[in-house]
Amino acid sequence: MLGVSAEEISLVMGARYMSVKAPAGRNVPYQIALTYVPLEIAEGTAIEEEDTGVGGLSSRLADLDQAQAALEDTIEVRPPEPEEEFLGLNEDQRVFDILHIGETRDGRPVKVTTFVIPTHLSKLRYRVQLKD
């Protein structure tokens, strides 16, 4: 998707495991997010150090003249996989598996993120602003 080499180190990957506070005060695992950016963009930057600061990764990409102009999400509902045990789900429960791709104005993919979220904890809502 990112047009990088599979034969050499060519990506920067960040992994986030997120929880939310439940009303009773306990932490509930909510999301796993894995993000990939081409090394040729991220090398030597805050992105490579996973210190993206205010505005996050999207802002850092824009700072590097790699602003995202289009986003594409592909959503699948599936059972959790063994490596997603952080979410504490059983095989009868389901997750949203969201593939999120950010592209520059010229159509170059610069960021790919996969989000894995339990369906019983989430609702998906999208809004697209259409131009004349």
Q: Set out the domains of the chain in order of their start, with CATH numbers.
A: 11-121 (3.40.1410.10)
pLDDT at 129 over 80: no
CB environment 95-114: b (16+ within 10 A), e (fewer)? bbbbebbbbbeeeebbbbbe
**Amino acid at the residue 5:** S
Quote the pTM value: 0.85
**Mean pLDDT confidence for 47-69:** 86
pLDDT at 29 over 80: yes
Enumerate residues 6+ apart whose C-beta is below 8 A from 131.
none
Beta bridge partners of 12: 37
Rounded CA-CA distance 97/120 in Å is 13
How does the average pLDDT of the chain come out, rounded?
89
pLDDT at 132 over 70: no
Collapse the DSSP code of 108 into the 3-class scheme (helix H, G, I; strand E, B; otherwise coil) and give the result.
coil
* Confidence (pLDDT) at 130: 61
**Mean pLDDT confidence for 47-65:** 86
pLDDT at 2 over 90: no
Q: Read off the pLDDT of residues 81-119 as tens digits, 9 standing for 90 and up.
A: 999 999 999 999 999 999 999 999 999 999 999 999 999
* Confidence (pLDDT) at 113: 95
